[in-house]
């Protein structure tokens, strides 16, 4: 998700026999719903339709590949899975194959839930960096990638400069033609600890060009830029996710990573509920209890030793309540977010937890 900022989740159920599927078949895993995670390039086409005030998918086209084997080789051919809403307003699936070089429909199915009811929606959802609609969001890693390409160019220039500057050029001053002919006759050469004589009044040395500090500086600047761009993924931005997008979540500012985590949690929750419907869970409170959540707390420990000492001193003196102290220590990354305020209160009261930091930098 972070690399491409887009994915797709599709829920399917295997074809069932006419006799139906028992609960034991599901328990033993012979017939279960499957959540497929799709790369963005696999979803090659989609359409939407508006029903009342709601916009929903009416077509999703997924590119797949299948293998064809013989005794000595494995070949692949392209297939297409077409998910669509038919003329009656129900979900259907059409499977296309290009095995013989021409597209043809191999099968058409009309999926139903565990109660035998046809679906009025396509069990497919996009996952995006900003939201989970059909629009393509800007990849969050693109700025870092662009800077990294510039860093690669600077690195190539730097390596060329190092190679050029690292090849010393020997030279001699005061050479005569007789001395040159003598060197050639005796096979004298530079290197391997051989002595190379020069005529009286001459000199011998190596000329080395200076390195290229400008390229090196450009490389260092881009490293700093990439670090800053990476840190920006953790900082709250201007995008807010509201309660109308995810029930029960108040409007709040999200960092890039926490927003991606919220979108992925929302999408997987929907996919799990679709899978549960395939498996026999009826809409209602039991369905609403099915949820998936990814940790969205990406606090960066940015407190200085002096700030930590001041906070601890205020807590020890009684001017800072334990709730504020624990909340602050969690925020700067020194306390475990999974533990409650009561847990830390018990640890502090029992003396099992030291308040002081070694040189202001240890963990409490």
The dihedrals phi and psi of 102, each to the nearest 5 degrees, come to: -135, 140
pLDDT class of 354 with cuts at 50, 70, 90: low
pLDDT (0 to 100) of residue 154: 86
Per DSSP, the three-state class of 68 is strand
Residue 44 has pLDDT above 90, yes or no: yes
Higher pLDDT, 92 or 194: 92
Min mean pLDDT across 53-62, 132-141, 263-272, 334-343 is at 334-343
The residue behind tokens 């070949």 is 75
pLDDT value of position 194: 64
What three-state secondary structure class fits 173? Answer: strand
Number of neighbours of residue 6 by Cβ within 10 angstroms? 21
Strand partners, 204: 172
Contact status, residue 112 vs residue 91, Cβ threshold 8 Å: no
Distance of CA 283 to the CA centre of its chain: 33
Distance CA 338, CA 341 (A): 10
Q: Answer for the pair 147, 70: CB distance below 8 angstroms, yes or no.
A: no
Closest CA to 120 of 286, 277, 284: 277
Q: Quick one: DSSP state of residue 22? A: -
What's the predicted TM-score (pTM) here? Answer: 0.66
Given this model, what pLDDT does residue 95 score? 94
pLDDT in tens, 226-265: 777 665 665 565 555 543 444 334 444 557 888 888 899 9
Residue 211 pLDDT exceeds 80: no
For the cut 80, the answer to whether the pLDDT of residue 96 exceeds it is yes
Chain-centroid distance of CA 19 in Å reads: 44
Banded model confidence at residue 359, pLDDT cuts 50, 70, 90: very low
Rounded (10°) CA dihedral 324, 326, 332, 334: 160
CB atoms within 10 A of CB 168: 12
Work out whether strand 91-97 and strand 104-109 pair parallel, antiparallel, or are unpaired: antiparallel
- Which of 18-32, 112-126, 230-244 is the least confident region? 230-244
Those residues with Cβ within 8 angstroms of residue 145's Cβ, 6 or more apart along the chain or in another chain: 139
Beta strands per DSSP E along the chain: 6-12, 34-38, 43-51, 54-69, 74-85, 91-97, 104-109, 124-128, 169-173, 203-207, 236-241, 252-255
Angle at 360 between CA 359 and CA 361, to 5 degrees: 95
Residue 226 CA to residue 146 CA, distance in Å, equals 10
* pLDDT above 90 coverage of the chain, percent: 24
Three-state DSSP at 48 gives strand
């Amino acid at each position: 998700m972070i690399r491409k900022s887009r994915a797709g989740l599709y829920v399917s159920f295997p074809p069932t026999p006419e006799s139906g599927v028992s609960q034991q078949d599901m328990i033993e895993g012979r017939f279960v719903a499957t959540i497929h995670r799709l790369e963005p390039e696999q979803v090659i086409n989609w359409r939407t339709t508006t029903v009342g005030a709601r916009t929903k998918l009416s077509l999703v086209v997924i590119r797949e590949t299948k293998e064809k084997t013989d005794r000595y080789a494995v070949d692949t051919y392209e297939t297409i899975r077409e998910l669509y809403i038919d003329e009656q307003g129900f979900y259907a699936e059409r499977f296309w194959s290009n095995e013989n070089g021409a597209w043809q429909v191999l099968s058409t199915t009309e999926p139903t839930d565990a109660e035998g009811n046809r679906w009025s929606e396509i069990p497919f959802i996009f996952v995006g960096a900003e939201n989970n609609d059909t629009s393509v969001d800007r990849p969050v890693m693109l700025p870092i990638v662009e800077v990294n390409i510039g860093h690669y160019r600077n690195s190539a220039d730097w390596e060329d400069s190092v190679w050029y500057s690292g090849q010393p050029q020997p030279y001699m001053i005061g050479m005569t033609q007789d001395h040159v002919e003598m060197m050639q006759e005796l096979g004298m050469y530079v290197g391997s600890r051989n002595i190379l004589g020069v005529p009286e009044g001459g000199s011998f040395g190596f000329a080395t060009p200076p390195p290229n500090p400008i390229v090196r500086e450009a490389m260092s600047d881009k490293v700093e830029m990439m670090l800053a761009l990476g840190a920006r993924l953790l900082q709250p931005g201007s995008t807010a996710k509201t309660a109308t997008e995810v029930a029960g979540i108040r409007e709040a500012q999200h960092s890039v990573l926490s927003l991606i985590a919220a979108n992925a949690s929302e999408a997987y929750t929907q996919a799990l509920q679709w899978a549960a419907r395939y498996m026999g869970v009826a809409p209602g409170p039991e369905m609403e209890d099915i949820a998936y959540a990814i940790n969205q707390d990406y606090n960066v420990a940015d407190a200085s030793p002096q700030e930590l000492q001041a906070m601890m001193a205020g807590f020890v003196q009684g001017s800072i309540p334990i709730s504020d102290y624990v909340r602050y220590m969690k925020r700067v990354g020194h306390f475990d977010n999974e533990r409650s305020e009561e847990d830390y209160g018990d640890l502090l009261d029992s003396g099992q937890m030291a308040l002081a930091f070694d040189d202001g930098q240890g963990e409490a």
